[in-house]
C-alpha cells in the first residue's frame, strides 16, 4: 500500500508518517515547508530506518499535483496540509480559503483522474463551533472564524464529491487538541514565532524562552475557572489515522466522520500542573483576560471512533507533558537548533 501524506513534514503529519512506515506502508510526502522544517525528514528517516520520498511543492498547484499522481501509484491519501492558525485566518481570510480549499481541490481532482479512492482528511473540533462539550459527530457544524469555515467547507466538498463518485471513501477526522511528541524526543511541534497554543507555550516558558504563561481567563464555568480542552497525544492521533485508513479499505459507506479525542476534559491549570511534574519545578504564570473567541469547554464524545475503529486514546496527560518536555528540552530551538 502506497500512501501520499500531504503535510507529512508537519507536526501531526510527521508522527503519522513514522507510524505508517512502521506499519508497513510505503509513504510519499508532499510538503511546501510553509510551516515545517526540512530537518524533520532526517529525523523521520532515522526513526524509521528508511528513506522517505518527499516532494516539495504547493498543493494548490494542480499541474504539479497531477504530475505526482501520474508518476506514483497511490492507494490512498492522508491530507494534513493546510493553514491552521485561527487568529491569522481572521487577518488573512482569502489566504486561508484559497490555500486550504485549493489544496483539497487539487488532491481530489488528481485522485479522481488517477483512480485513487481513499482519503483521510484532517478536520477539527472547530466544526462544532461553540458547541464542543461532549460533542458527538451528528451535531450541526458551523464555524466562528475563517480557519474553522475552511474545515466545515472542506468536509462539505468531500461529502458532495462522495455523492457524485460513490466508489470513493472519505474519513473526516475531527481532532480535538493534539499535543505531545514522539517518545524519542526527536520530532515534535515546532511553532514559528510566539506559540498560539497552550502546550507549546508552556514548554517554551519551561525551557526559558518565555517569561511566564498567560492564562486566558480564570472565570469560566469550569472545574477551576480556566478553559477545559480534550488533549490528545499526537501518537494516539497518528494511530487514529492508520485505523481510519484501514476502516476505509473495508467499508461500504462513502463518508465517515470520527471524533479523535479522549473524551476527557483537562483545564489549563491541570495541564500546567502536569507539566510542572514533568519538568520538576514550578512554571510561572499569570491569569489574564479571556482570549476573544475562546469557549469554556471542549471535549469529544469518542464513542463512535472507539466502536467503529477499534481505537481509543492510550496516553495520559502526564505522558503528554513528559514527551513534550523531552522534545522541548532536547531541542530548545526546535528543528532549527
The single residue among 133, 214, 308, 312 that binds ligand UDP, judged by CB under 6 A, is: 214
177 near ligand UDP, rule: CB under 6 A: yes
Q: Residue 221: which residues within 8 A CB-CB, separation 6 or more?
A: 296
User: Per CB under 6 A, which of residues 220..259 are in contact with ligand UDP?
Assistant: 227, 229
Q: Least distance to ligand UDP from the beta carbon of 244, Å?
A: 22
Of the CA atoms within 13 Å of residue 255, those in its CB half-sphere come to 18
> Is the Cβ–Cβ distance between 32 and 58 less than 8 Å?
yes
Sole window of 63-71, 195-203, 240-248, 249-257 interacting with ligand UDP (rule: CB under 6 A): 195-203
196 near ligand UDP, rule: CB under 6 A: yes
According to DSSP, the residues that pair with 177 across neighbouring strands are 231
SS3 64: helix
The single residue among 128, 175, 201, 311 that binds ligand UDP, judged by CB under 6 A, is: 201
Q: Least distance to ligand UDP from the beta carbon of 234, Å?
A: 13
Sole window of 26-34, 113-121, 214-222, 244-252 interacting with ligand UDP (rule: CB under 6 A): 214-222
The single residue among 3, 52, 173, 215 that binds ligand UDP, judged by CB under 6 A, is: 215
Q: Least distance to ligand UDP from the beta carbon of 86, Å?
A: 7
Binding to ligand UDP by CB under 6 A, coded x per residue (else -) over 263-282, reads: -----x--------------
> Is the Cβ–Cβ distance between 29 and 13 less than 8 Å?
yes
Of the CA atoms within 13 Å of residue 170, those in its CB half-sphere come to 28
User: Per CB under 6 A, which of residues 95..154 are in contact with ligand UDP?
Assistant: none
User: How far is the C-alpha of 189 from the C-alpha of 328, rounded, in Å?
Assistant: 9
| 187 CB-contact burial (10 Å; exposed 0-12 / middle 13-18 / buried 19+) | buried
SS3 34: coil
Give the 3-state secondary structure percentages of the chain, helix then strand then coil, rounded to 5: 40, 20, 40
Could you tell me the CA-to-CA distances from 70 to 27, 40, 55, 65, 307 in Å, in that order? 16, 26, 14, 9, 37
H-helix or E-strand spanning residue 308: helix 303-309
Sole window of 12-20, 133-141, 162-170, 194-202 interacting with ligand UDP (rule: CB under 6 A): 194-202
Sole window of 37-45, 101-109, 141-149, 210-218 interacting with ligand UDP (rule: CB under 6 A): 210-218
216 near ligand UDP, rule: CB under 6 A: yes
Q: Least distance to ligand UDP from the beta carbon of 47, Å?
A: 26
Count of residues that interact with ligand UDP, criterion CB under 6 A: 14
Sole window of 23-31, 56-64, 114-122, 291-299 interacting with ligand UDP (rule: CB under 6 A): 291-299
According to DSSP, the residues that pair with 133 across neighbouring strands are 299
291 near ligand UDP, rule: CB under 6 A: yes
Q: Least distance to ligand UDP from the beta carbon of 170, Å?
A: 24
With CA atoms as reference, report the closest residue to 312 among 322, 301, 321.
Answer: 301
User: Which amino acids are annotated catalytic?
Assistant: 147
Residues forming the site for ligand UDP (CB under 6 A): 177, 196-198, 201, 214-216, 227, 229, 268, 291, 294, 298
Amino acid at each position: 500500500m502506497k500512501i501520499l501524506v500531504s503535510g507529512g513534514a508537519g507536526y501531526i503529519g510527521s508522527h503519522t508518517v513514522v507510524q505508517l512506515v512502521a506499519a508497513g506502508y510505503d509513504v510519499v510526502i508532499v510538503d511546501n515547508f510553509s510551516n515545517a522544517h526540512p530537518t524533520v525528514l532526517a529525523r523521520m528517516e532515522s526513526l524509521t530506518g528508511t528513506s522517505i520520498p518527499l516532494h516539495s511543492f504547493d498543493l494548490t498547484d494542480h499541474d504539479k499535483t497531477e504530475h505526482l499522481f501520474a508518476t506514483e501509484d497511490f492507494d490512498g491519501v492522508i491530507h494534513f496540509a493546510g493553514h491552521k492558525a485561527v487568529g491569522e485566518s481572521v487577518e488573512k481570510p482569502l489566504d486561508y480559503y484559497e490555500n486550504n480549499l485549493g489544496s483539497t481541490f487539487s488532491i481530489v481532482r488528481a485522485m479522481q483522474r488517477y483512480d485513487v479512492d481513499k482519503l483521510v482528511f484532517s478536520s477539527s473540533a472547530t466544526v462544532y463551533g461553540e458547541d464542543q462539550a461532549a460533542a458527538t459527530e451528528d451535531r450541526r457544524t458551523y464555524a466562528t472564524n475563517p480557519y474553522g469555515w475552511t474545515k466545515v467547507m472542506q468536509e462539505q466538498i468531500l461529502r458532495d464529491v462522495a455523492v457524485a463518485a460513490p466508489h470513493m471513501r472519505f474519513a473526516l477526522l475531527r481532532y480535538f487538541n493534539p499535543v505531545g511528541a514522539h517518545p524519542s524526543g526527536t520530532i515534535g511541534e515546532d511553532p514559528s514565532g510566539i506559540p498560539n497554543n497552550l502546550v507549546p507555550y508552556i514548554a517554551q516558558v519551561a525551557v526559558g524562552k518565555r517569561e511566564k504563561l498567560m492564562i486566558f481567563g480564570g472565570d469560566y464555568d469550569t472545574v477551576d475557572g480556566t478553559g477545559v480542552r480534550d488533549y490528545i497525544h499526537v501518537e494516539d492521533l497518528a494511530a487514529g489515522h492508520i485505523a481510519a485508513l484501514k476502516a476505509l479499505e473495508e467499508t461500504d459507506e462513502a463518508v465517515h466522520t470520527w471524533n479523535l479525542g479522549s473524551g476527557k476534559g483537562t483545564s489549563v491549570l491541570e495541564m500546567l500542573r502536569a507539566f510542572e511534574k514533568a519538568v520538576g519545578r514550578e512554571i510561572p504564570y499569570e491569569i489574564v483576560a479571556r482570549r476573544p473567541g475562546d469557549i469554556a469547554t471542549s471535549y469529544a464524545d469518542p464513542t463512535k471512533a472507539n466502536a467503529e475503529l477499534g481505537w481509543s486514546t492510550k496516553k495520559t496527560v502526564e505522558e503528554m507533558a513528559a514527551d513534550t518536555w523531552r522534545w522541548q528540552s532536547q531541542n530548545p530551538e526546535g528543528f532549527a537548533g
